Amino acid sequence: MLLAALALAGAASAAAQPPTGPGQIRPRPAEGREPEFPQPSIREYKPRSTLVVPVHLVPRARFPAIDFHGHPPALISQEVIDRVGAAMDSLNLRVMVNASGSSGERLKQQLAAVAASRYKDRFVMFTTLNLRDVGPGSGGRIAAQLEADVAAGAAGVGEIGKGFGLFARKADGSRLKLDDRELDPVWETAARLKIPVFIHVGDPSEFFEPIDYHNERWLELALYPDRRYQDRTKFPAFEELMAERDRLLARHPKVIWVLAHLGWHANDLARLGRMFDSLPNLYSEVGAILYDLGRQPRAAREFMLKYQDRLLFGKDSFQPDEYPYYWRVFETNDEYFDYYRDYHAFWKLYGLGLPDSVLKKLYYANALKLTPGITRSGFPK
């Protein structure tokens, strides 16, 4: 009787609930048939699209752009600066923020090399924070170094890397949590200096999930051992990190926070929208999450229109031939086109067709507003 009732309840709930698990779709018509040919691996199967639709390649950004998330080679020799500068010219990248932050002498060397170059108005340098072995008194020391670096010419802090939260240990051996009170003087100093704090927290949530055939990033996780955060004895869960981050932001609302990679919420834009709604000084940049915007062009366009004052263009790794994919997603209405990295995304992209007024904010106006020291010349009014 009890068994029958349970079985009945199970059948009823199975019938009432749509199959919603990842990959759980209805049985396929050819279920049970075996392919007659050897099956390709996911790396081998690259079907040619037969779709015939308009194609608009965009080699140069429509408006001069600021890359808020630049990782150029160290800008210490004129040869390197000339090479990066020439690539920027060809892409219509007007300014690059060097988010490979450097401090002390190394910062001064790069500032001097850029100042002596013919691209002197085209780079902005950020400083970095030494977050190793934090213990009592560290906050004050890090804040003092920050103040010295800003006096030397740094225009912001960052990129604070994902090591903060994932890897960095305190002097006592425990994990340095993002909202550790010892660092409060650092954030308060940044708020007082009115400089942006550019922070990368965690990684895509799938990097923290089981590596099975339902994981969207299976290939990337299979290729890169250092992106696997499944071991809870070593790494916090994704949501634990995000909770620390959210407490940090809420405790320092005067800091101009810039979350890298849309806070790893490009797959859940409403979540980032709620953060923007509650934190007026919060901004975010779009580096390395193009695959998420380009697969939801309608929702992403709506989001970018709604939060047009909070979004910054950023690319992350410096590969000049990859920038045009960004221009194409943001500027065109093209459909079903390739992304540049197969292990980020096995799907195609669609253009968002953003209006000029929004492109201008995304490409340069928002970055100009919150970053001191960028020369205004070269940008449309």
Nearer to Zn ion, 159 or 334 (CB): 159
285 part of the interface to Zn ion, by CB under 5 A? no
Q: Measured from the CB atom, is 58 or 155 closer to Zn ion?
A: 155
CA distance 335 to 51: 9
Q: Which residues pair with 253 in a beta bridge?
A: none
Interaction pattern, residues 315-334, with Zn ion; x per rule: CB under 5 A: -x------------------
Choose between 229 and 337: whose C-beta lies nearer to Zn ion: 229
The yes or no reply on residue 159 touching Zn ion (CB under 5 A) is yes
- CB atoms closer than 10 angstroms to residue 353: 13
Distances (CA, A) of 304 to 207, 265, 341: 26, 13, 23
Helices (H) and strands (E) in the chain, counts: 14, 9
CB of residue 163 vs Zn ion: minimum separation in angstroms?
Answer: 11
Nearest residue (CB) to Zn ion, 67 versus 159: 159
**Identity of residue 113:** A
Looking at the Cβ atoms of 63 and 207, the one nearer to Zn ion is: 207
Stretch that binds Zn ion, among 189-197, 276-284, 314-322, 364-372 (CB under 5 A): 314-322
Closest separation in Å from C-beta 316 to Zn ion: 5
Tell me how far, at minimum, the Cβ of 260 lies from Zn ion, in Å: 6
Please state, in angstroms and rounded to a whole number, the distance separating the CA atoms of residues 262 and 272: 7
**Nearer of residues 69 and 361 to Zn ion, judged by Cβ:** 69
Least distance in Å: CB of 123 to Zn ion? 16
For β-strands 256-259 and 282-285, DSSP reports them as: parallel
Residue 203 in the binding site for Zn ion (CB under 5 A): no
Pairing of the two strands 311-312 and 316-317: unpaired
Exposure string for 52-90, b = 16+ CB within 10 A, e = fewer? eeeeeebeebbbbbbbbbbbbeebeeeeebeebbebbee
Q: Given the rule CB under 5 A, which residues bind Zn ion?
A: 159, 316
